[in-house]
Each structure stands twice: as C-alpha cells, then as structure tokens.
Chain A
Amino acid sequence: NAGVTQTPKFQVLKTGQSMTLQCAQDMNHNSMYWYRQDPGMGLRLIYYSASEGTTDKGEVPNGYNVSRLNKREFSLRLESAAPSQTSVYFCASSGDPRGFYEQYFGPGTRLTVT
C-alpha cells in the first residue's frame, strides 16, 4: 500500500496563476482532508470530504476549491494564486467520516507563490 500520495512535491507559481494539487489514497477510506501548515499557525483545515460526492468547508477555505473525483482521489485547486497561499499543503484520509479512526497523511506539497 502506498497510503496517501500527493503530487507535486514542490511548486512555484506566479501571482494569478492557477494549479491543482492532487491527492490519492489506497486505503478505501471514506473521508479525505486538505490542510495547510504555516509557521506559527499550525495545521489548518481547508476543505474536507466526508464521503464520495460531498465536500465541506474547513477553517480557511477562501481562495480554494476542491473536487472529490471518486473515493480514492481528492484534489485542491487554486484558481488565482496569491502570495498568502505560500504554504505546505497536506492531504489526509481516515476511515470514518467523523474522524473516529486514525488520520493518515501524505508527504505534503511545498508551494511558493511569488
């Protein structure tokens, strides 16, 4: 099992450009999550998907959109990147929609917006 995979690992964007971060899990989990991690701010939830076909906003959803393509894949899109979106982005999955079970994290995508 690969667990949770993310692509790309690193990305540099110019302000206003768009991009999609990809995430896939092979653990047959129902729930998937997107977080960002910033120094001094900790991990903050951007969006989550409790099951295939559903998505909900987290703590910091502005400037992002998500798609739960199928049970395995959950993508995060930046339509018009801003320097404030420079961060490390983590995708996670868990087996229960309410997080009863362990969360498994991907290795992260380090994004810089200039």
Chain B
Amino acid sequence: GAVVSQHPSRVICKSGTSVKIECRSLDFQATTMFWYRQFPKQSLMLMATSNEGSKATYEQGVEKDKFLINHASLTLSTLTVTSAHPEDSSFYICSAHRAGGSYGYTFGSGTRLTVV
C-alpha cells in the first residue's frame, strides 16, 4: 500500500515554456503532499507543502508565482513550473504521508526536468 504515482518521469522543455508535473496518491487519500527539488549530489530540498482545498505553503526562497501548486482533490497535487529557465533543471519529487500506518513518507518516482 501507500503508492504515490508521479508523471512525467522525464521532460525536456524550451526556456520560457511551462511544465506541469502531477502527483497522485493511488490507494490512499492525502490531504497534504510535499514537493521537493534535488540538484545533483545534493539532498532533497522542500519547496512547498500542498494542502487540499487551500493555498500551498512555500519555503523561504521559493517563488510561489513561478512554482504553481494546485491540490484540488485528496489524491492529486500538481506543480507547474512557469516560464522555465535552464537553472530550473532539476529532479522534482513529490511525496505524501499515509496516516495510521508505518508507511513513513512515500515518494513519487520523481520528474527529471531539463530546460534547454
């Protein structure tokens, strides 16, 4: 149990375009999902906490107008990277916590974004 699906797994886009990444909890409801970014040889850095039915909470230094988060249902959160630039190229991972079990913190498989 506690499966989180994320797609696309890999995307290449041109500078200035927008990219949407989806994160779904397949077998449980997630009122809260988390979005992380990981640069090569670095740990995961929390970008924002996505709350179902309300605005996301962004970490300091993360531009909320650039990284749009929508959590419209209990099983789906989306991250849209707007006006992407090469420096946005990174590994983006979502995760969710399933309450009531020892599942810890389940991650999606990640999205490798390359902006050219």
Whether A associates with B in a native complex is no
